[in-house]
Amino acid sequence: MAAPLGPRANEGGGWPEQGGAGPGARRLATALLFLAAVALPCLVLYRAVAPGGVLVQPAARLPWLQAGAPPHDDDDVDLVRTCMQESDSEDVRLERVLRAAAMANDTVILTTLNSAWAEPGSMVDVFLESFRVGEHTRELLDHLVIVSLDLAAHRRCKQIHPHCLAVATEGVDFSGQKNFMTDGYLRMMWRRIDFLRQVLEKGYSFIFTDTDIVWLRSPLPRLYAEGDFQIACDHFTGDPDDVLGNAPNGGFAYARANTETVELYRYWYAARERHPGLHDQDVLNLIKADRYLAEVGVRIRFLSTEFFGGLCEPSRNLSAVCTMHANCCVGLRRKIADLTLILHDWRSFMSLRGPDKRSASWSVPRNCSLDKVEE
């Protein structure tokens, strides 16, 4: 927090006397210099309140200099006011949010959000609703941090959830829908990997979840007692230690904070240079059996699709499933439609009694398919 300004210049009232730099003038100059030092980073932030901007976007002009730019709203003014009061770095904000959301063992749940998925009635509402209707999941919302990748997503997060963190990416606009494997999509995925490394370096373990995953039961009991890094699968062979055969999906992962996982994420992020044009999941599939990771000593384990299912390989056991992912699905509206059906199926299942539960099944995928594109 910034220190308070010192005594006002010319405590007796009025402006300092003219004709020389007396004590009053010097106090005024000191105060103005201090104010300028505090205000400068806030002007940088103000550049981000232009419509569609991210929190640090040097190419954006100040809103009042843009021809025809609409007035900034109260949320934008609040962001600048907060900056003026605290002038905190992103690192300090990260530490504060993680500490507020952490479980007793310093574990947090993380998801990322951009404006396309943050709109009312869009993906984030389905995601949060699943926590409310799931079994022993509502209390996990206290440990969920929503990481906003643009200003619109951050505004919406503050309206619907207590733990929000705005993460800046210099020169990149993550607002709007990012279609699968476009340049914007790849940048967003790799920004996520780099951010997760920072969380581990701060000593916090995490469960990362994509926002297009519904939480139906607490997954905590289904995580392995042993394993530094545990990840869901598009295809699970039945062996959690089958590094070559299992096909990982980066949409759900648990990482224990230690030097091994920090090095895994650092190596993973660096590997994007050796495999240009691939997203993080494909790169992980290529490097997961690298000798270097074995030398680091990180233990990678794969989560069963019986408990961590998805549209690629749905869990067939509604009495055991913890999460369902709208993977193998292209298009925001199709994802929302099928995830909404999953929640409907879940409510119907929870209303059943006794033997009727054993015959329950999913009504999805209905709208999702890899050969379909968003209209």
pLDDT for 76 equals 52
Mean pLDDT of 284-312: 97
Mean pLDDT of 322-345: 96
pLDDT for 167 equals 87
- Residue 156 in contact with residue 166, Cβ under 8 Å? no
pLDDT for 110 equals 98
The amino acid occupying position 183 is: D
- Can you list the positions of beta strands (E) in the chain? 107-113, 144-148, 164-166, 205-209, 213-215, 229-235, 247-255, 300-302, 308-310, 323-325
Q: What is the pLDDT of residues 136-160, one digit of tens each?
A: 999 999 999 999 988 999 999 999 9
Domain positions in the chain are 89-326
- The model's confidence at residue 182, banded by pLDDT at 50, 70 and 90, is low
pLDDT for 354 equals 85
Q: What is the pLDDT of residues 7-48, one digit of tens each?
A: 333 333 332 333 444 545 545 555 555 445 444 444 444 444
Top-confidence range, 12-26, 169-183, 243-257: 243-257
Each residue of 256-291: b (16+ CB within 10 Å) or e? bbbebbbbbbbbbbebbeeeeebbbbebbbebbeee
CB atoms within 10 A of CB 143: 18
- The model's confidence at residue 185, banded by pLDDT at 50, 70 and 90, is low
Q: Which residue has the higher pLDDT, 66 or 104?
A: 104
Q: What is the DSSP code (8-state) at residue 245?
A: T
CATH topology of domain 89-326: Spore Coat Polysaccharide Biosynthesis Protein SpsA; Chain A (3.90.550)
Q: Which residue has the higher pLDDT, 82 or 346?
A: 346
Mean pLDDT of 280-287: 94
pLDDT for 90 equals 81
pLDDT for 6 equals 36
Statement: residue 68 has pLDDT above 60: no
Element (H, E) at 292: helix 291-296
Q: What is the mean pLDDT of the chain?
A: 80
The amino acid occupying position 143 is: H
pLDDT for 29 equals 52
Q: What is the DSSP code (8-state) at residue 51?
A: T
pLDDT for 45 equals 42
| Ramachandran angles phi, psi of 112, nearest 5° | -110, 155
- The model's confidence at residue 369, banded by pLDDT at 50, 70 and 90, is low
Task: Give CA–CA dist 162/157, Å, rounded.
Answer: 8
Mean pLDDT of 170-193: 61
Residue 71 token pair: 């007035």
Number of H helices, E strands in the chain: 11, 10
Of 138-152, 175-189, 264-278, 283-297, give the lowest mean pLDDT range. Answer: 175-189
**CA-angle at 40, arms to 35 and 44, nearest 5°:** 150
